[in-house]
Structure 1
């Protein structure tokens, strides 16, 4: 009896894990579901997954696309969500807020597999017009202080290829056109995906190099995952890339920056400092500010944005800084 009960529980768990990953829009296949199950600690072969889906097709209101192999599966568009995990109001709110921020960075296969869950969260909130949770959505925003720019279009096939290579740790072949119109081809090691408003960039390494570069997805004309796998570099870390200024188009060069700025223009720097070691000297109608920062193109654009309200800008390589009193 115990073995039979354990078998029933395992079957129930299999069905629940499959339901979490079947989309309402787009299609998923048995091989894709097998990968998701393995990541969840369940090993099943493709044939057993297909049999389970076929057995549950009518009961769970599934559609099967037989036009090509492997067959695709999804929920019928008019299916209710009785089969999807039930979400409370707070869980729905959390998922909806997460979707706002994360959907540009999710690989297509994950978007498809989680679409039913996010859709249920949206429906749950929409069905509660007077709820505090729905009201909260109109009370919070993540806002950038930079000039709003529309995101450049990215070829969906390029995005999917980049995500597959990144997810599976496969080398990626790209046909690329840079900002000045030069075209070239290369094989790169995909290491990360970042959104630098409003565009998406691939963090990668070129063959024969040990430093990270940024490639804009909207400048990729073609992207092709190869069958060649690779070991991710042991020392690679997206947080380190951020700290070294890669995402601000710098190369990790630390400088001691000092400048004089009008009080009106620089008042916010007393509240939001450039660095932990920032110092400020009150010069009457202006401030003399010094801070240790990474020297980047974004820093230069920021300084130029003040125009004549900022003067006497000095960048000293950090190794040459001896004493702050040396600053003019």
Structure 2
């Protein structure tokens, strides 16, 4: 094998290694190298890693075999060096994800954002030093402050997810307000609005459940054998309505009249791939037709437009929205404003 191939193989290894406390086993390195076209024995990979450790801040954990490797926790160098377009992309991304991801996750990549800011702030000649006055990302709707997650919880769960091992946890049940103990077999991680959720099977069960990361109180490695589900796919799980509070598994045909401003929004950012919008009628209403999930999330989205959307079908949705309006009006009628002496 030539020096060129060796160089690219070493670069591939350096790019895949995580920072502490996460670790990557030599067998996982071998598998990922094979995906890139490099066929190596475990011993050869171990020799590569030992050679790289002479020049890079790598740690080897020999408490179990195969050995596990990572960068030291405070290692902040990147390959290759950052360019201006990448820096601007990163500062825009930081604006977007800071309100979505938990602080502990942001802290893990904070050095990248800091490097991007310093790169732009040092470019006085082209005005990029004033990037903070030119870049903003605003959410579509009200953003809540992300729920606080313990750093040890984040590290323990993400390590278990990436390295496929079970964990013993203490979890605060929202329904009962009690601390529960489980053995979880992590399958996926989803960030939704301002909260993050672990998807996992529990104990000896196969069904997949959602666990809010901010409700975990402790996480530790389990001696239980990890129960993999090779066919599980996070996107398929979401598509089935898991995070939309489904009312049924089948989608519905949604028909409604919408005002012009809503029609413009949906013309540019459609509700579904089969969406259609009519020409405005004499009163300015546009008829919307689309196939959408039959879930509460879609209904909440509709109600967010208030009187700007008049639901025609499904009839059950129309009745539900009208009932919500009746209850609001009823509370208004029951409210007695304080009398004032004139």
What range describes the TM-score normalised by the shorter chain of this pair? 0.5 to 0.7
Equivalent residue for 1:324? none
Task: Return 89-98 or 139-148, whichever deviates more.
Answer: 89-98
Q: 5 Å matches for 1:286-325? A: 286-307=285-306, 310-311=309-310, 314-315=313-314
| Distance in 2 of aligned mates of 1:282 and 1:266 | 12
* Kept after mapping to 2: 8 A contact 1:174/1:223: yes
Task: Return 290-299 or 33-42, whichever deviates more.
Answer: 33-42
Q: Are 1:170 and 2:165 matched, yes or no? A: yes
Equivalent residue for 1:322? none
| Distance in 1 of aligned mates of 2:137 and 2:267 | 23
Equivalent residue for 1:182? 177
Equivalent residue for 2:265? 268
Q: CA deviation at 1:53?
A: 6.1
The structure-2 alpha-carbon separation of the partners of 1:125 and 1:266, relative to structure 1 and needing over 3 Å to count, comes to closer
CA offset digits 1:205-260 (Å, max 9, x no partner): 444344x43321112222334352333342x3333233333232326332233345
| Distance in 2 of aligned mates of 1:314 and 1:84 | 54
| Distance in 1 of aligned mates of 2:94 and 2:187 | 23
| Distance in 1 of aligned mates of 2:205 and 2:20 | 38
Equivalent residue for 1:197? 193
Q: Are 1:216 and 2:212 matched, yes or no? A: yes
Q: 1:256 aligns with which of 230, 253, 257?
A: 253
Q: CA deviation at 1:147?
A: 0.3
Normalising to structure 1: TM-score of the pair? 0.65
| Count of residues in Structure 1 that have an aligned counterpart in Structure 2 | 297
CA offset digits 1:155-207 (Å, max 9, x no partner): 11111121112112223443322444533333343222121121111233444
* Kept after mapping to 2: 8 A contact 1:169/1:232: no
| Distance in 1 of aligned mates of 2:241 and 2:284 | 32
The structure-2 alpha-carbon separation of the partners of 1:13 and 1:272, relative to structure 1 and needing over 3 Å to count, comes to closer
* Kept after mapping to 1: 8 A contact 2:196/2:213: yes
Q: Are 1:231 and 2:228 matched, yes or no? A: yes
| Distance in 2 of aligned mates of 1:120 and 1:309 | 45
| Distance in 2 of aligned mates of 1:33 and 1:121 | 31
| Distance in 2 of aligned mates of 1:244 and 1:194 | 14
| Distance in 2 of aligned mates of 1:269 and 1:162 | 38
Other structure's SS at 2:147 match: coil
Normalising to structure 2: TM-score of the pair? 0.62
Other structure's SS at 2:243 match: helix
| Distance in 1 of aligned mates of 2:121 and 2:43 | 37
Q: 1:145 aligns with which of 110, 133, 140?
A: 140
| Distance in 2 of aligned mates of 1:131 and 1:238 | 43
Q: 5 Å matches for 1:1-328? A: 6=2, 10=6, 16=11, 20=15, 27=20, 32=24, 34=26, 37-38=29-30, 39-40=32-33, 41=38, 43-44=42-43, 48=47, 52=51, 55-56=54-55, 74=72, 85-94=80-89, 121-131=116-126, 139=134, 141-183=136-178, 184-206=180-202, 207-210=204-207, 212-226=208-222, 227-234=224-231, 236-250=232-246, 252-261=249-258, 268-275=265-272, 276-278=274-276, 280=278, 282=281, 284=283, 286-307=285-306, 310-311=309-310, 314-315=313-314
Q: Which runs of 5+ in 1 are unaligned?
A: 318-328
| Distance in 1 of aligned mates of 2:49 and 2:29 | 13
